[in-house]
Amino acid sequence: MTPSLIPTWHQLRKRIHLICFLIFLALPFCNVVRFDIPHQRFYFCGYELWINEFGIVFFALMFLMFLVVVAAVVFGRIYCGYLCPQMIFSEASAAIQLRLRRWLKPHQRLAGAAFYAVLAVASVFLAFIFISYFVEPRDLIRRLAALDIHTAAGVCGAAVTLLTFLDFAFVRLHFCATVCPYGYLQGMLSDSNTLMVLYSDPSHDCIECKKCVRDCPMGIDIRKSPFQIECVHCGECIDSCETILARLKTPKPGLIRYSWGVEGKSRFPVDAKRVILACVVLFYAGGLSLALSMRHAVLVRISPDRATLYRAGADGRIYNHFRYSIANRSHQPQAVVFSIRLLPEATLTLPLNPVAVKAGQTIEGEFDISAPSGRRGEFITHFNIVASTIPNTVTDVFPMTFICPTEAK
Ligand code: SF4
Ligand code: SF4
C-alpha cells in the first residue's frame, strides 16, 4: 500500500512538538521573550527593555495576554495538544519509558533505573532552559559549573530540577486534567464557534471497537461529550477511528473530526466577537510597535528643585536648582551634553558637562542655572534645557521655567 502524503494528526503533532521544542530551547538565547529578574530587564523580540519602561512592558504584556485569549476563543485547547511544553515533555517521557521497557524486556528493574537516570539528566537540562527565561544563560552556566546551591538562583535551580523530575516521572498529563489553569480558562472562553474535536454518528456506524478510547493520551471517551475538561484536542482519536474504518472499508472515512463548534461547521466562522478580539490584538500590537519606535536608548529626566524657588548669589546672579537622572539602556558608553535655549546670558553650572554614563548605568545629579537678576523682566521666564546624547545624536528638549525675585524687575 502506498503511504499517504498527507500526515495523520499524530504525525503532524509530533513534527510540531519537535519544532516547539527547538523554539523553547532557542527563545531565551535569542532574547525573543525573556525576563531577566536579577537585572530587572524584559527582553522582547530582540529589544532589551527596562522594567521601568512601563508603556512598552504594558503593551507587550497586554498583547501577549490577548493573543492567549484569542487562541483560546478561536482554537480551543489546540495549544494544549500541539504546543504546550507540559504535553510535549510528558509524552516524550512516557515514550522513552516504554522504549526502555521494550529494549530491556527481561530486565525490568534495569529498565526502570535507566529511565530515571535519563530523566534526571533531562530534568537538569530542562530546568536549565526554563530558568534561562529568567536568568541570563551565561550567568546560569557559571552558577551550574560552580554547583551553586547556596544563592537564591541556585536554590531555585535545584527546586525546578526536582519538580521537573517529579512532574515527568509521575504527574505528566494528570496536570492537564486537574490543576492546569489554561484548561479552566478555556472552559470559560470557548463559545459555539470554537474549534473542537467532535464525535458525530447520526447513522450509527460506530462498531464499538473503542480504539479511540485506548489511543487517547488522556484516557477519555470522546463519544460521551466534546466538552470534557480532560480533552486536549490532540486529534489522536480522529486518527484511530479513521484507521479502523479504513480497514473495514466502510463508506465513512471516520466518525470523529475537528469542527468549528458543536454544530459541525467545517469553515472558519467570522463573528462579531472574533472581529472585536482581532481589533483589540491589533490595537495592542500597534501600541507596542509605536512605543518601541519612540524608545530612546538613553533616557534623560530633568526636574526643577522647588524646595527653594531661587537663590540670590553673592555675584549678583539668581540661581535656580535642577535635578537630573540619566539611564543608559544601550550596550555602549554614552554621554549627555546639557545646554540652555531661550534664556539669554544664562549659565549652566555642572562639574562635568558632558556627563558620561556607562552601558546599563543609571546616574542622578544636580545642577544650577544662573542669570543676571537685573535683566529679568518677568517673575517667571519660560526657557528650554536641551540634553543631547552622544554618540547617538538624540536631542531631548525640556520646557522649564526660571524664577527670579519680582523686585528684580
Ligand atoms: S478525546 Fe481525542 S482529542 Fe481529546 S484528548 Fe483524547 S485523543 Fe485527544
Ligand atoms: S474508534 Fe471509531 S468506531 Fe471505534 S469506538 Fe471509537 S468512534 Fe467508534
State which ligand 2 atom lies nearest to the alpha carbon of 244: 1
From ligand 2's centre to the CA of 206, what distance in Å? 5
Question: What's the grid cell of residue 123?
Answer: 530534568
Please give the pLDDT value at position 308.
83
pLDDT at 13: 94
- Which neighbouring-strand residues pair with 323? 303, 366
Ligand 2: centre distance to CA 255 (Å): 7
Residue 296's nearest CA partner among 40, 53, 59, 31 is: 53
Q: Which ligand is nearest to the CA of 231?
A: 1
Expressed in angstroms and rounded, the spacing between residue 231 Cα and the centre of ligand 1 is: 5
- Identify the helix (H) or strand (E) that includes residue 386: strand 380-390
Per the listing, cell 554614563 goes with 357
Question: Is residue 354 helix, strand or coil?
Answer: coil
**Closest approach atom of ligand 2 to CA 201:** 7
Q: From first to last of the 409 residues of the chain, give the pLDDT tens digit.
A: 455 678 899 999 999 999 999 999 998 888 888 888 777 778 888 777 877 677 788 888 889 889 888 998 999 999 999 999 999 999 999 999 999 999 998 889 999 999 999 999 999 999 989 988 888 888 888 877 877 777 777 788 889 999 999 999 999 999 998 888 888 888 888 888 999 999 999 989 999 999 999 999 999 999 999 989 899 999 999 999 999 999 998 888 899 999 998 887 778 888 898 999 999 999 999 988 888 888 888 889 898 988 888 888 888 889 999 999 998 988 889 999 999 998 888 899 988 889 999 988 889 999 999 988 765 556 888 899 999 988 767 788 999 989 888 764 4
The grid cell for 265 is 461547521
Check if the beta carbon of residue 31 is closer than 8 Å to that of residue 130. no
Quote the pLDDT of residue 408: 45
| Whole-angstrom distance, CA of residue 361 vs CA of residue 48 | 14
Lookup: cell for 240:
484511530
The per-residue DSSP string of 283-339 comes to: HHHHHHHHHHHT--SEEEEEEE-TTSS-EE-TTSEEEEEEEEEEEE-SSS-EEEEEE
Q: Backbone phi, then psi, for 231, in 5-degree steps?
A: -70, 120
Q: What distance in Å separates the CA atoms of residue 313 and residue 401, rounded to the nearest whole number?
A: 18
Backbone angles phi, psi at 263, to 5 degrees: -80, 0
Shortest-distance Cα residue to atom 3 of ligand 2: 206
Q: What is the DSSP string of 75-115?
A: HTTHIIIII-HHHHHHHHHHHHHHHHHHHTTT-HHHHHHHH
Neighbours of 199 (CB within 10 A): 20
Euclidean distance between CA atoms 168 and 85, whole angstroms: 11
* Nearest atom (ligand 1) to Cα of 212: 7
Q: Whose CA is nearest to atom 2 of ligand 2?
A: 241
Q: How far is the CA of 212 from the centre of ligand 2 (A)?
A: 6
Compute the distance from residue 212 Cα to the ligand 1 centre, in Å.
8
Which pTM value belongs to this model? 0.73
- The C-alpha angle with vertex 55 and arms to 335 and 50, in degrees rounded to 5, equals 45
Nearest CA residue ID for atom 4, ligand 2 = 209
Which H/E stretch holds residue 390?
strand 380-390
Ligand 1 pocket, 216 CB below 6 A? yes
Residue 183 CA: which ligand is closest?
Answer: 1
From residue 96, how far is each of 89, 129, 286, 327, 381 by CA, in Å?
10, 20, 44, 50, 76
Q: Which of 213, 232, 258 to mutate to test the pocket of ligand 1 (most atoms within 8 A of CB)?
A: 232
Structural contact between residues 127 and 160, judged by C-beta atoms closer than 8 angstroms: yes
The ligand 2 atom nearest the CA atom of 254: 2
pLDDT (0 to 100) of residue 343: 87
Q: How many residues does the chain have?
A: 409
* Distance of CA 184 from the midpoint of ligand 1 (Å): 17
| Cα–Cα distance, 40 to 343 (Å, whole number) | 39
Residue located nearest, by CA, to atom 6 of ligand 1: 216
Taking the C-alpha atoms of residue 154 and residue 161, their distance in angstroms, rounded to an integer, is 11
Report the C-alpha gap between 360 and 237 in whole angstroms. Answer: 53
Q: Which helix (H) or strand (E) covers residue 236, if one does?
A: helix 236-247
Res 407: pLDDT: 61
Does residue 180 contact residue 171 with C-beta atoms inside 8 Å?
Answer: no
